[in-house]
């Protein structure tokens, strides 16, 4: 038995040295081909493994596993593990700030959906709202980005007159279990939260599809609030260009925005709808 333990200790020492050497070599190699984050994570992981085997202690092994996990996995993954371990459902639904990459991915998804729907509705006929330049996804993404920025600035300046609150957040990510939902903006009053979805549509028929999606988002957001014991009214709102005269579509309030003048064009009707829905 002693011989086995001695052999294991010697093996641990050999592994510790080997991991340390490999860590340095791999870090030097990868630093030439990758961004700084990957070599640093690899170096940290291998050095922790080296220390673990050098210490040859069960507690150090256990601590090392969690250290490596924090280095090589996303924080969200660890939080979900905690949710399983402690059966805390609050870990499953939480809000965070969306990254630039996630926001761009949403622009791309919306642009692809818009092109598909318009081409399907018009069957590529000459009267299609898509001309040769806007058929390019990149062009639609640029237009959507500019439109959303203008809308957010206008919402920020008129948040109190529109939603009777000064509490306004942009580009919020709702992590709902395995789903990730990007909410363009949220206006939060004491008794009511407004989920604001901004769509740079060229086709009026696309609005109905957007109402279904924002209803689903509102449902997930309501679950998030209920898990935290907050009994608030959640009202989804859709902001679109001047492509419709409607103020309500599928029970969703519609706020119209003129991108040229950078103003909302139906504020009075919109706020009347919100007050009416609150009374109901």
Read off the pLDDT of residues 38-68 as tens digits, 9 standing for 90 and up: 566 666 666 666 666 666 666 776 776 666 6
pLDDT tens-place string over residues 117-162: 766 665 555 555 555 444 567 788 888 899 999 999 999 999 999 9
Between residues 104 and 77, which one has the greater pLDDT? 104
Domains of the chain: 2-72 (no CATH), 93-279 (3.40.1350)
Q: Are the C-beta atoms of residues 250 and 140 closer than 8 Å to each other?
A: no
In sequence order, which ranges of 56-136 are alpha helices (DSSP H)?
58-72, 75-86, 100-122
- Within its chain, how far is the Cα of 273 from the centroid? 29
- Within its chain, how far is the Cα of 128 from the centroid? 32
**Given this model, what pLDDT does residue 275 score?**
81
What confidence category does residue 91 fall into, taking pLDDT thresholds of 50, 70 and 90? very low
Strands in the chain per DSSP E: 93-97, 168-176, 179-188, 192-198, 233-240, 248-249, 252-258, 263-264
Burial 94-106 (b: 16+ CB within 10 A, else e): eeeebeeeebeeb
Residue 12: CB atoms within 10 Å: 16
Q: 0.85 cut: is pTM over it?
A: no
**Can you name the residues that pair with 236 across neighbouring β-strands?**
195
> Residue 222 pLDDT > 70, yes or no?
yes
Sign of CA dihedral 195, 99, 106, 150: positive
Q: Residue 200: which residues within 8 A CB-CB, separation 6 or more?
A: 110, 140, 143, 144, 147, 148, 240, 241
């Amino acid at each position: 038995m002693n011989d086995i333990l001695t052999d294991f200790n010697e093996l641990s020492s050999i592994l510790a040295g080997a991991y340390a050497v490999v860590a340095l070599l791999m870090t030097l190699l990868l630093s030439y081909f990758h961004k700084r984050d990957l070599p640093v994570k690899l170096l940290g992981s291998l050095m922790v493994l080296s220390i673990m085997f050098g210490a040859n202690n069960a507690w150090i092994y256990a601590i090392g596993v969690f250290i490596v996990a924090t280095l090589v996995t996303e924080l969200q993954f660890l939080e979900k593990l905690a949710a399983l371990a402690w059966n805390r459902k609050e870990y499953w639904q939480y809000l965070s700030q969306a990254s630039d990459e996630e926001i761009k991915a949403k622009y791309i998804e919306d642009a692809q959906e818009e092109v598909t729907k318009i081409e399907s509705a018009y069957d590529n006929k000459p009267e299609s709202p898509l001309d040769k330049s806007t058929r390019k996804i990149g062009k639609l993404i640029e237009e959507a980005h500019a439109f959303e920025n203008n809308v957010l600035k206008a919402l920020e300046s008129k948040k109190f007159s529109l939603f009777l609150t000064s509490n306004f957040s942009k580009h919020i990510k709702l992590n709902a279990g395995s789903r990730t939902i990007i909410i363009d903006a949220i206006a939060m009053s004491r008794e009511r939260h407004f989920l604001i979805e901004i769509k740079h549509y060229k086709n009026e028929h696309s609005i109905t599809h957007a109402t279904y999606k924002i209803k689903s988002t509102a449902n997930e957001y309501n679950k998030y609030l209920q898990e935290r014991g907050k009994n608030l009214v959640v009202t989804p709102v859709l902001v679109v260009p001047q492509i419709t005269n409607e103020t309500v579509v599928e029970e969703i309030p519609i706020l119209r925005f003129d991108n040229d003048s950078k103003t909302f064009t139906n504020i009075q009707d919109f706020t009347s709808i919100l007050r009416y829905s609150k009374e109901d």
